[in-house]
Amino acid sequence: MFSGERLRAIRLVNEMTQENLGKLVGVGKVTISKWESETTVPNAKHLRTLEETFLVAKGYFESDFELLSVYHKLTSAHKGKVMRYSQRLLEEQEQSVQFVAYQVRTNILLSAGPGETFEDEFETETVYFDKEMDHDVATWIKGNSMEPMFQSGEVALIKETSFDYDGGIYAIVWFGHTYIKRVYREEEGFRLVSINPDHPDKFAFYEDQPKIVGKVVGHFMPLAV
Instruction: Indicate the DSSP class of residue 201.
Output: -
Over residues 125-174, the pLDDT tens digits come to 899 998 889 998 898 998 899 999 999 999 999 998 889 899 999 999 89
Find, among 40, 10, 38, the residue nearest to 24 by Cα: 10
pLDDT at 78: 86
Task: Write down the pLDDT at residue 110.
Answer: 56
- Cα–Cα distance measured from residue 81 to residue 103, given in angstroms and rounded to the nearest whole number: 45
CATH 1.10.260.40 fits 4-95, yes or no: yes
Options 3.40.50.360, 3.90.180.10, 3.10.20.30, 2.10.109.10; CATH of 100-220: 2.10.109.10
Of 8, 59, 63, give the one whose Cα is nearest residue 33.
8
Separate counts of helices (H) and strands (E) for the chain: 6, 9
- Give me the DSSP letters along 35-97: HHTTSS---HHHHHHHHHHHT--TTTTBTTHHHHHHHTTS-HHHHHHHHHHHHHHHHHHHH--
- The pTM of this model reads 0.54
Residue 107 — very low, low, confident or very high, per pLDDT cuts 50/70/90?
Answer: low
CATH code 1.10.260.40 region(s) in the chain: 4-95
Q: What is residue 134's three-state secondary structure?
A: coil
Residues of the chain with CATH 2.10.109.10: 100-220
